[in-house]
């Protein structure tokens, strides 16, 4: 190229900036690739977590392309003719993956939400199961002997006096069991609500960031047309 076409900041400075851009690009791609291993496609939790981690690391990738393409074809090394073209294709491929990931992130947020809710429901069922079984047995017990046997089965070391009104004890215990079941259910509802808010807060953030990042990389692709027109450096 003619000296009049050289960037005002000078060739060494341009080479340094572009070298930094190449380093950012390589490190970002390497980090993202390692992050995805081992692959667990169709696993909603893994897919959503991976997309979120990729989005959290996206600034380095977005920074790399403007640095590599800075100055267009001015002060380029001969080998950069091929490299810049490859980098441009990497930009559009990354853009497509990011944009495709937006609806997938939304779908996976719903799937993970259902998984979390199922886990919470299963945990509550596990907590309430034994005491609910006791409540069912007590409800069916009519005689004092039946009630006494159930109370002793609950606590083998309990010394149940004959002066205790077992019918009242039955009603008291049933009321306590009902309170415990209700408490566990209330706590489960709170946990489900918190899980939903947390998931959608992250999911929406990642989807929006993925959308804008993808659109930016499409813009990078359009602005890097000069890498694909066959100009000699």
Q: What is the pLDDT of residues 33-64, one digit of tens each?
A: 999 999 998 999 999 999 999 999 999 999 99
Tokens of 97: 């993956």
Higher local confidence (pLDDT), 213 or 162: 213
Tokens of 4: 């009049």
Nearest to 47 by CA among 117, 119, 97, 120: 97
Average pLDDT over residues 128-144: 85
Q: How far apart are CA 56 and CA 66, in angstroms?
A: 19
Domain ranges of the chain: 3-228
Q: Please say whether the beta carbons of 105 and 207 come within 8 A.
A: yes
3-state secondary structure at position 43: coil
What does pLDDT average to over the chain?
A: 88
Nearest to 64 by CA among 25, 17, 32, 18: 25
Tell me how far apart the terminal alpha carbons of the chain are, to the nearest angstrom: 7
Q: Which helix (H) or strand (E) holds 4?
A: none
pLDDT 10s digits, 193-206: 999 999 999 999 99
Q: Is the pTM of this model over 0.75?
A: yes
Average pLDDT over residues 206-214: 98
pLDDT beyond 80 at 26? yes
pLDDT score at 3: 44
């Amino acid at each position: 190229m003619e000296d009049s076409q050289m960037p005002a900041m000078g060739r060494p400075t341009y080479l340094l900036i572009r070298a930094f851009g190449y380093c950012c690009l390589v490190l970002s791609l390497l980090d993202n690739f390692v992050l995805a291993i081992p692959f667990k496609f169709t696993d909603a939790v893994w897919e959503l977590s991976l997309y979120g981690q990729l989005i959290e690391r996206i600034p380095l990738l977005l920074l790399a392309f403007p640095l590599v393409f800075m100055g267009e074809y001015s002060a380029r090394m001969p080998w950069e003719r091929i490299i810049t073209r490859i980098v441009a294709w990497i930009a559009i491929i990354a853009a497509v993956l990011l944009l495709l990931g937006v609806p997938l992130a939304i779908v996976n947020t719903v799937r993970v939400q259902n998984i979390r809710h199922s886990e919470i429901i299963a945990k509550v069922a596990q907590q309430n199961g034994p005491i609910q079984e006791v409540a069912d047995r007590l409800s069916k017990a009519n005689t004092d002997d039946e009630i006494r046997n159930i109370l002793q089965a609950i606590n083998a070391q309990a010394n149940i006096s004959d002066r205790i009104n077992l019918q009242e004890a039955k009603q008291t215990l049933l009321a306590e069991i009902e309170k415990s079941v209700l408490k566990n259910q209330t706590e489960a509802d709170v946990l489900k609500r918190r899980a939903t808010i947390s998931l959608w807060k992250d999911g929406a953030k990642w989807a929006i960031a993925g959308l804008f990042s993808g659109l930016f990389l499409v813009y990078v692709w359009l602005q890097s047309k000069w890498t694909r027109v066959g100009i000699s450096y």
